[in-house]
């Protein structure tokens, strides 16, 4: 692979990634509803990454990383670990570029994410999320096969690729003549957050960027308050399966602590309500982890009255049963 840009990718790396993924990734729309704006008393823009290739933003970073493998690296292949969205992104990018891929996935990952990853041609190795270390498994496989590890968030080229989402938000808002007061981003390991922080710092510096996490997995929020990386407490649960990283990434946290204006946390009931709201108001299918930023606005964690706020809906790979439960239990 081409040499890493160091521990901190920059706006040049993000713009290079945008050129690299052009024609492969989707420039997803920034949705808006006059009825929603009237209800909230402000302007809400929703970046619709469920419409991205593979159903989440993860394809951006995965393709940016794999596209830079040299011929020997493409023959040796890649190894990744993921609960599902990074898995699908790497698998799809690998299929498009003719690269063998092994993905380490939890045995309790949503069935749709397991099935889609297999359909993209990747080899899946399952592990027990409660008792086994996915990184140790992945590193062993990579060592045995001489393959390149493509980490889900703590990887400069992946962060740069995810930053293209923020680059698009800023550009699309500018095209509408909109000044964004804030951008809210779902946060697990922090790759999307870090990439968007860098993109907005360069293109829309007046925009306050904030991370949003599930309650019990608000490691970035607590780490920002402590000034150091903190792990989540064992035993916490959430149905936001894509945001259950044990602690912030080393590279991502270094970026996010410099650029984030704040961090929010939402409960599963708020997320379920946001899933139903996205479907009814925007006709958009959003998975639990992808709905946390929207949930923060709807639950009043951030008052947007008289302001213009964008949220990233980061993915839409949700099992039918979880989606139908969210719709059925949504407040009338």
Q: What is the DSSP string of 44-73?
A: EEEEEGGGSGGGBTHHHHHHHHHTT--HHH
Structure letter (DSSP) for residue 38 = H
Nearest to 319 by CA among 117, 119, 112, 89: 112
So what's the pLDDT on residue 235?
86
125 and 48 in a common domain: no
Answer with the one of 149, 177, 193 that is the final residue of a domain: 149
Backbone angles phi, psi at 28, to 5 degrees: -75, 150
139 and 194 in a common domain: no
So what's the pLDDT on residue 7?
55
Backbone angles phi, psi at 239, to 5 degrees: -85, 5
160 and 143 in a common domain: no
190 and 125 in a common domain: no
Which helix (H) or strand (E) segment holds residue 287: the answer is none
49 and 64 in a common domain: no
Catalytic positions, written as ranges: 58, 314
So what's the pLDDT on residue 192?
98
pLDDT in tens, 145-157: 999 999 999 999 9
Q: Number of folded domains in the chain? A: 2
* Structural domain includes residue 3: no
288 and 261 in a common domain: yes
Torsion of CA 8, 13, 17, 18, to 10 degrees: 120
Q: Say if pTM beats, i.e. exceeds, 0.75.
A: yes
CATH code: domain of residue 138 = 3.40.50.1100
Provide Rg for the chain, Cα atoms: 18
192 and 126 in a common domain: no
Q: Residue 12, CB half-sphere, CA atoms under 13 Å: how many?
A: 4
235 and 91 in a common domain: no
So what's the pLDDT on residue 276?
97
pLDDT in tens, 113-135: 899 999 999 999 999 988 999 99
180 and 112 in a common domain: no
Contacts 24+ apart (CB under 8 A), 114-117: 114/84, 116/54, 116/55, 116/84, 116/88, 116/91, 116/317, 117/84, 117/87, 117/88, 117/91
* Structural domain includes residue 1: no
Query: Which residues, given as ranges, of the chain have pLDDT below 70?
Result: 1-7, 332
234 and 161 in a common domain: yes
pLDDT in tens, 58-97: 999 999 999 999 999 999 999 999 988 999 999 999 999 9
So what's the pLDDT on residue 291?
98
Say whether 235 sits in a helix, a strand or coil: coil
Residues in contact with 157: Cβ distance below 8 Å, sequence separation at least 6, in sequence order:
1, 4, 5, 9, 13, 17, 61, 64, 65, 68
d(CA 311, CA 31): 10
- 80: containing domain: 59-149
So what's the pLDDT on residue 332?
64
So what's the pLDDT on residue 72?
95
113 and 199 in a common domain: no
Which helix (H) or strand (E) segment holds residue 155: the answer is none
Nearest to 152 by CA among 276, 59, 214, 17: 59
183 and 44 in a common domain: yes
DSSP per residue, 132-150: --HHHHHHHHHHHHTPEE-
Structure tokens that stand for 43 in this block: 């302007």
């Amino acid at each position: 692979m081409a040499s890493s840009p160091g521990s901190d990718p920059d706006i040049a790396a993000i713009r290079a990634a945008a050129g690299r993924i052009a024609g492969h990734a989707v420039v997803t729309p920034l949705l808006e509803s006059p009825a929603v704006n009237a209800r909230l008393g402000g302007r809400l823009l929703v970046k619709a990454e469920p419409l991205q290739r593979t159903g989440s933003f993860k394809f951006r970073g995965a393709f940016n990383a794999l596209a830079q493998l040299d011929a020997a690296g493409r023959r040796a292949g890649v190894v990744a670990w993921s609960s599902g969205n990074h898995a699908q992104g790497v698998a799809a990018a690998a299929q498009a570029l003719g690269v063998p891929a092994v993905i380490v996935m939890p045995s309790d990952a949503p069935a749709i994410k397991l099935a889609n990853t297999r359909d993209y041609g990747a080899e899946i190795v399952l592990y027990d999320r409660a008792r086994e270390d996915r990184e140790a498994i992945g590193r062993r496989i990579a060592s045995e096969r001489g393959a390149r590890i493509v980490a889900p968030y703590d990887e400069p080229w992946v962060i740069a690729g995810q930053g293209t989402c923020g680059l698009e938000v800023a550009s699309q808002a500018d095209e509408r003549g909109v000044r964004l007061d804030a951008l809210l981003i779902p946060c697990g390991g922090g790759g999307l957050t870090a990439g968007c922080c860098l993109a907005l710092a360069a293109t829309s510096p007046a925009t306050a960027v904030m991370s949003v996490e599930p309650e019990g997995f608000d490691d970035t929020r607590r780490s920002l308050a402590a000034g150091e990386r903190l792990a989540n407490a064992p035993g916490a649960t959430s149905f936001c399966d894509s945001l259950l990283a044990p602690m912030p990434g080393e590279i991502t946290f270094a970026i996010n602590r410099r650029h984030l204006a704040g961090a929010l946390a939402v409960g599963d009931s708020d997320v379920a309500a946001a899933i139903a709201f996205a479907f009814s108001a925007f006709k958009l299918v959003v998975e639990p982890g992808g709905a946390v930023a929207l949930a923060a606005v709807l639950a009043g964690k951030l008052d947007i009255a008289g302001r213009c706020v964008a949220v990233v809906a980061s993915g839409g790979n949700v099992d039918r049963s979880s989606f139908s439960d969210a719709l059925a239990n949504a407040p009338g």
